[in-house]
């Protein structure tokens, strides 16, 4: 019996896939189809796949062409499969010509002509295409625009700088006003000055546009809550944009902690400092969204008490360093943020059985360790980081709009409201904030050169 094997993502199954599978089957007597898992695709940089692995496997099975369907989960699996299944022919579309010649050592490699004029990418783009407008202009927005190019079905169509002076010219056209931008867009990314975001997001939702808002989305809990209410009433998507929440390593580590691997979490300590990035609104507003993420994600938002200590800038009176301490029932947390200090940007989650250690800069990590008293039980976990999480953040936002359902990888409404509430309490004095005074003379320059 001649065995043939082929592999693919087979997202939104189309006639190109069917032709390929038929031709592959004709090469022998028994066809095995490997369907690429979402994690493996992400590792290869393919992040826009619309259907789950199970749905794609079921769709391939339903065609009745394959004799066996298996998931493809790791680099090098093709060699393992060819050996384990005693495969005679490896077949793949001609777009891969030459790429799999190395498999000739294990079996015959056949490249089959690709069907012209159709692909999953094209189907994804045709399906609910999203025109995205941006409010604000900054270095981070430039990065966001570059990352959006990896997300099929999303096009950044214009930017309204709203007073920001960073030059985005050449990247996207400029809209004359917010109204002009809203008119052209299906959805908007709100990333202007923090104090203006609430009004902007509100205007966008009122105009019937989906909103992805930089964090903090508002400087008061009631405002953040009202944005969610408005979105719900109008059946629109409203997401807070904290890129770290979408980084695979970070989301996996929170799941690992929740599953009890380190016992019950007792403390979370996160540090974020940068002397080359100074938020005009101060350290708590600039870094707080990222630094509070592991705290709220792991210990929840029902803390009993929070107190802060801040060092103030001589230049503009903003906080160049802030430390926040939270007390929970049975646990505590601390985060330190700042541009006027330099510290190790690490994250430590301590539990009753062990701890998680994420080295600096933890918010862009692709790696973490789980450590125990018994060193032999220590484990290291590695992941692929795609564009600091921005790519996945845009992709999840787009998918939520297109599929009309909330994904599980997300920042909850409670977390968004808690963060705005924390900033509100810090600013209006309802939380104890110890003053560390003014920063020392000559420390005001935040651009560091060595």
Binding site residues, ligand CTP, CB under 6 A: 8-11, 16-17, 20, 92-93, 95, 114-115, 118-121
Toward ligand CTP, which CB reaches closer, 48 or 244?
Answer: 48
* Nearest residue relative to ligand CTP (C-beta): 93
Toward ligand CTP, which CB reaches closer, 74 or 382?
Answer: 74
Find the shortest distance in angstroms from Cβ 386 to ligand CTP.
16
Using DSSP's 3-state secondary structure scheme, residue 308 falls into strand
Find the shortest distance in angstroms from Cβ 392 to ligand CTP.
17
Task: Please state whether the peptide bond connecting residue 216 to the residue before it is cis, i.e. omega within 30 degrees of 0.
Answer: yes
- Sign (positive or negative) of CA dihedral 147, 149, 151, 154: positive
Find the shortest distance in angstroms from Cβ 26 to ligand CTP.
14
Distance CA 419, CA 349 (A): 20
Toward ligand CTP, which CB reaches closer, 8 or 351?
Answer: 8
Find the shortest distance in angstroms from Cβ 56 to ligand CTP.
9
Toward ligand CTP, which CB reaches closer, 8 or 338?
Answer: 8
Find the shortest distance in angstroms from Cβ 115 to ligand CTP.
4
Q: Is residue 256 within 8 Å of residue 380, measured between CB atoms?
A: no
Find the shortest distance in angstroms from Cβ 17 to ligand CTP.
5
Toward ligand CTP, which CB reaches closer, 14 or 364?
Answer: 14
Residue with tokens 């990065």: 143
Distance CA 412, CA 390 (A): 18
Toward ligand CTP, which CB reaches closer, 114 or 364?
Answer: 114
3-8 vs 30-36, strand pairing mode: parallel
Instruction: Annotate 133-192 with three-state secondary structure.
Output: EEECCCHHHHHHHHHHCCCCCEEEEEEECCCCCCCCCCCCCECCCHHHHHHHCCEEEECC
210-214 vs 238-241, strand pairing mode: parallel
Distance CA 56, CA 12 (A): 8
Structure-token pair, residue 338: 């700042």
Instruction: Annotate 42-83 with three-state secondary structure.
Output: HHCCCCCCCCCHHHHHHHHHHHCCCCEEEEECCCCHHHHHHH
Find the shortest distance in angstroms from Cβ 38 to ligand CTP.
12
Find the shortest distance in angstroms from Cβ 121 to ligand CTP.
3
Toward ligand CTP, which CB reaches closer, 13 or 201?
Answer: 13
Structure-token pair, residue 355: 């701890």
Toward ligand CTP, which CB reaches closer, 16 or 389?
Answer: 16
């Amino acid at each position: 019996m001649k065995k043939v094997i082929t592999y693919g993502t087979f997202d939104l199954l189309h006639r190109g896939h069917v032709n390929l599978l038929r031709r592959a089957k004709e090469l022998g007597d028994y066809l095995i189809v490997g369907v690429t898992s979402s994690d493996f695709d992400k590792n290869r940089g393919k992040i826009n796949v619309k259907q789950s692995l199970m749905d794609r496997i079921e769709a391939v099975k339903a065609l009745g062409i394959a004799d066996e369907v298996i998931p493809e989960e790791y680099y090098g699996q093709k060699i393992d499969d060819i050996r384990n299944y005693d495969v005679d022919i490896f077949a793949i579309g001609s777009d891969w010509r030459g790429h799999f010649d190395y498999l000739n050592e294990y079996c015959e490699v056949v490249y089959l002509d690709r069907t012209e004029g159709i692909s999953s990418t094209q189907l994804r783009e045709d399906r609910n295409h999203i025109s995205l407008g941006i409010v604000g202009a900054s270095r981070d927005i430039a990065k966001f625009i570059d990352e959006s190019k990896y997300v099929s079905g999303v096009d950044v169509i214009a930017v309204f700088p709203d007073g920001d002076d960073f030059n985005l010219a050449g990247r996207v056209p400029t809209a004359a006003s917010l109204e002009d931008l809203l008119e052209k867009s299906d959805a908007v990314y709100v990333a202007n000055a923090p104090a203006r975001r609430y009004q902007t997001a509100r205007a966008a939702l009122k105009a019937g546009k989906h909103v992805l808002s930089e964090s903090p989305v508002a400087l008061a809990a009631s405002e953040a809550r009202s944005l969610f209410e408005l979105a719900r009433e109008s059946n629109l998507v409203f997401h807070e944009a904290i890129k770290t929440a979408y980084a695979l390593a970070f989301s996996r580590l929170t799941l690992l902690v929740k599953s009890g691997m380190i016992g019950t979490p007792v403390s979370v300590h996160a540090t974020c400092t940068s002397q080359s990035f100074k938020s005009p609104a101060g350290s708590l507003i600039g870094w707080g969204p990222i630094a509070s993420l592991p705290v709220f994600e792991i210990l929840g938002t029902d803390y009993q008490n929070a107190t802060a200590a801040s060092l103030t800038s001589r230049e503009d009176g903003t906080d160049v360093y802030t430390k926040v301490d939270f007390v929970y029932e049975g646990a505590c947390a601390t985060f330190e943020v700042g541009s006027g200090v330099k510290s190790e940007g690490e994250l430590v989650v301590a539990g009753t059985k062990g701890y998680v250690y994420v080295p600096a800069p933890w918010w862009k990590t692709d790696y973490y360790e789980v450590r125990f008293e018994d060193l032999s039980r220590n484990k290291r976990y590695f992941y692929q980081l795609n564009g600091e999480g921005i790519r996945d953040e845009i992709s999840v936002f787009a998918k939520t709009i297109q599929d009309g359902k909330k994904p599980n990888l997300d920042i909850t409404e409670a977390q968004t409201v808690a963060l705005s509430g924390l900033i509100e309490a810090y600013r209006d004095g309802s939380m104890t904030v110890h003053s560390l005074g003014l920063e020392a003379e000559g420390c005001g320059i935040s651009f560091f050169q060595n």
